[in-house]
Structure 1
Amino acid sequence: MITFQHILSHLQGVITTNGQRLLAIIRKEFIHIRRDPPSLVMVFIMPVLMLLLFGYAVNTDVNHIPLAVYDQDGSQASRSLVASLVNTGYFDLVFQAGSEEEIKSLLDSGRARAGLIIPPGYSRDLKRQATATAQLLVDGSDPLVARTALSMAELVSQAQSRELRLAVLSSQGTALPPGPAIDLRARAWYNPGLESLKFNIPGLIGLIMQNITMMLTAFALVRERERGTLEQLMVTPIRGAELMLGKLIPYIVVAFIDMGLALGIGTLWFKVPIAGSAMLLLALTVLFLVFALGLGIFFSTIARTQLQAMQMTMLFILPSVLLSGFIFPRSSMPRPIQYLGNLLPLTYFLDILRGIMLKGTGINYLWQDVQALAGFGAAVIALAALRFRKRVD
């Protein structure tokens, strides 16, 4: 006869058996996780990295705009105007230019984002209670920075005009002459309409080219390894360097065709003209493509599966989007974050793209970016070749 005690005992046995099986499965999964260090590191690093990057890099407040000044007056009044701009916290005085050509050169190269030109006779006009004029040239290739610079320049000129008029009234007690005391004429270069599209399209071209080319080659060796065809290539007389170049060159051709398509759509469909040399742009693009493809090959020598290769590329893409100046101005980021951005080749390629497409700058202004890209490309190709040779040998 089956009693309640028998039923309870049976249930306890079933629960104990099921619990043991469940614990065994849990233990087995933890062992699998422990034996997959790349995925384990990714799981714990990704949330910390994302939080730090988004916390510091995602900042739409524009400040610390590099300012170059050409002060031809050299008076207390002209220095007061410069100090008023700097004291807002939106401008950093980084260059004292000696000519208007130097101001233009600094804006072309991107070392300054705004240039203040104070003509001779500035203080004399103020003393005569006439309107003193000055000019602020702003790099309009980044509309967010340009709008901030233009609006702050207007506020500063209005505030100084009001202070000067009040000083005249209090000291002389005479009626104020009509018009502002200071006329700070601000003008945006390169993108006078401050169209965001002209800023975004070159950035998108650079980001897309990096992501596509890197993913293409990141899967190259991993796919061979998963299919078992890499071992077949290893027993052939083909050397490691020959095999790597043989895999790299077709992707360079494909990436170059993609670059042509992206530029065609950007210029013909979105109406973003190439102000500079298209041949120079394509030539410098080769340097960046070599880096991106080499980095993909390097990832493929580390990853064992296509999923791991995808995780590695995503881990690299995230900082590239946030720290390269693709969306957010780098001048507003903390100094350590800016240094991290300097380690990303996309930072330099975006300078090249926007410099040639929007400013029409030549190689004489871009040589520092070219040197950085060449250095990154050579380093990543050397690392990829070294690891690839070890895999093949």
Structure 2
Amino acid sequence: MNLRRLSAIVVKELRQLRRDKLTFAMIAGIPLLQLVLFGYAINMDVRGIEAAVLDQANTASSREAVAEIASSQVLDLRYRLSSPQQIDQLLRQGKISAALVVPADFDARLQRQDRPPLQLIVDGSDQSVQASARQLAAYPLPGWESRQGVEVVNFYNPERLAPLNTVPGLLGVILTMTMVLFTAVALVREREHGNLEMLIATPVSPWELTIGKLLPFVGIGLVQITVILVVGYWLFGVPVRGSLLELYAASLLFIVASLALGVYLSTLSQTQFQAMQMAFFTFLPQILLSGFMFPFAGMPKAAQWIAELMPLTHYLRLARGIMLREATLLELWPPVLVLLLFSALLLALAVTRISKRLD
């Protein structure tokens, strides 16, 4: 072992790292990103759940009880409803995650103390909402001496089965990891192998090159969706209560959005290793901020705004809405629109950069 030769190799590697700006940035960027996400954005103490209230009693005591529940800040009572049918409609559309119902005999229940005077209907497809609802079950109400003042009713997942929440989320997570990573190295591999020069000599346009790279992976993504749905139903009994065709349509939108992101990353990278680094860098915020692992409602507003820019956030809303709440794409049009805009923007940027490379 010659220390002089060993030190020369070490110096060479350090200089090469310094020249590789992307790798150098990742060395500091990934720990900082994890620190910020876990220390600032990830919060298991859920507050501000989007909710509605249906006060069928409409008395002074019922209004006081609603105000007491609102003061806990667990629920954000955005909607005042006039009929029970509106609750189901808003839950299906994903506009609310819970609904506080005050029955017409609220005052009588307070007097008798035999039944919970309030009912909280929650979207059971989100486990974090279920956990927060259980905190409100024993919330002290004015004039109520019994232990449980709020009766919690789980819609869509009354048994509180974890796979019903996990499997729809895994659809998006697995597609994100495979689609982005596969396509992130696609154009880089062509350039490293010398195939890009051959393509330049042909009449292939940048749009044809980009779409031609995407189409095979679209088929791969649809096969992955099928495998997850079949295994999820066979092993865990996870249903598809809505339209299977609409679920595949939503998945197709997300696949295209993920592929567009991957192709764009490939135009920013010089090597396949750099492309994989950048793909991994996009995985962390998407998985951690989308609502798959941690409650979306518990995140600070700034983190929620960032999450709204990521395709996985919107696909999870579509997958859970269609599979568990039997919602339609028409009812869930906001995330559909976001995925369309995201795909169009990223594909246009990728094609523009490919055009510059071909020139």
Fold match (TM-score > 0.5): yes
TM range (shorter): over 0.9
Give how far 1:121 is off: 3.8
Residues 250 and 319 in structure 2, CA contact (< 8 A), matched pair in contact too: no
Query: Which residue of structure 2 lines up, in the alignment, with residue 375 of structure 1?
Result: 341
Residues 295 and 380 in structure 1, CA contact (< 8 A), matched pair in contact too: yes
The percent of aligned pairs where both chains have the same amino acid is 39
- The question of 1:152 aligning with 2:135 is answered yes
- The question of 1:77 aligning with 2:43 is answered no
Structure 2 counterparts to residues 1-393 of structure 1, below 5 A: 28-123=12-107, 126=110, 133-149=117-133, 151-156=134-139, 159-160=140-141, 163-164=143-144, 180=146, 184-393=150-359
The separation in 1 between residues aligned to 2:293 and 2:105, in whole angstroms, is: 41
Which deviates more, 280-289 or 91-100?
A: 91-100
Residues 273 and 357 in structure 1, CA contact (< 8 A), matched pair in contact too: yes
In structure 2, runs of 5+ residues without a counterpart are none
Give how far 1:274 is off: 0.2
Residues 122 and 132 in structure 1, CA contact (< 8 A), matched pair in contact too: no
Residues 288 and 294 in structure 2, CA contact (< 8 A), matched pair in contact too: yes
Against the structure 1 CA distance between its residues 325 and 164, is the aligned structure 2 distance closer, same or farther, given a 3 Å change threshold? closer
The separation in 2 between residues aligned to 1:46 and 1:38, in whole angstroms, is: 11
Give how far 1:246 is off: 1.6
Normalized against structure 2, the TM-score is what? 0.92
Deviations 1:207-234 (A, max 9, x none): 1011111111111111111111211221
The separation in 1 between residues aligned to 2:90 and 2:222, in whole angstroms, is: 31
Against the structure 1 CA distance between its residues 260 and 164, is the aligned structure 2 distance closer, same or farther, given a 3 Å change threshold? closer
**Code of the aligned partner of 2:242:** G
Against the structure 1 CA distance between its residues 235 and 71, is the aligned structure 2 distance closer, same or farther, given a 3 Å change threshold? same
Against the structure 1 CA distance between its residues 125 and 325, is the aligned structure 2 distance closer, same or farther, given a 3 Å change threshold? closer
Give how far 1:80 is off: 1.8
Highest Rg: 1 or 2?
1
User: How many residues are matched?
Assistant: 358
Give how far 1:131 is off: 5.7
Instruction: Give the alignment's Cα RMSD to 1 decimal.
Output: 2.3
Give how far 1:141 is off: 0.7
Deviations 1:317-364 (A, max 9, x none): 000110000111110111111111111110000000011111111123
Residues 226 and 305 in structure 1, CA contact (< 8 A), matched pair in contact too: yes
Give how far 1:26 is off: 5.6
Helix, strand or coil at the partner of 2:202: coil
Residues 275 and 356 in structure 1, CA contact (< 8 A), matched pair in contact too: yes
The separation in 2 between residues aligned to 1:197 and 1:74, in whole angstroms, is: 39
Helix, strand or coil at the partner of 1:364: coil
Against the structure 1 CA distance between its residues 131 and 51, is the aligned structure 2 distance closer, same or farther, given a 3 Å change threshold? closer
The separation in 2 between residues aligned to 1:32 and 1:153, in whole angstroms, is: 57
Residues 94 and 332 in structure 2, CA contact (< 8 A), matched pair in contact too: no
**Code of the aligned partner of 2:19:** R
Deviations 1:139-172 (A, max 9, x none): 11112321320x233212xx337x446xxxxxxx
Helix, strand or coil at the partner of 2:89: helix
Against the structure 1 CA distance between its residues 96 and 26, is the aligned structure 2 distance closer, same or farther, given a 3 Å change threshold? same
In structure 1, runs of 5+ residues without a counterpart are 1-14, 166-179
Residues 124 and 158 in structure 2, CA contact (< 8 A), matched pair in contact too: yes
Normalized against structure 1, the TM-score is what? 0.85
Which deviates more, 255-264 or 269-278?
A: 255-264
Residues 131 and 181 in structure 1, CA contact (< 8 A), matched pair in contact too: no
The separation in 1 between residues aligned to 2:60 and 2:22, in whole angstroms, is: 62
**Code of the aligned partner of 2:122:** V
Deviations 1:168-188 (A, max 9, x none): xxxxxxxxxxxx598643210
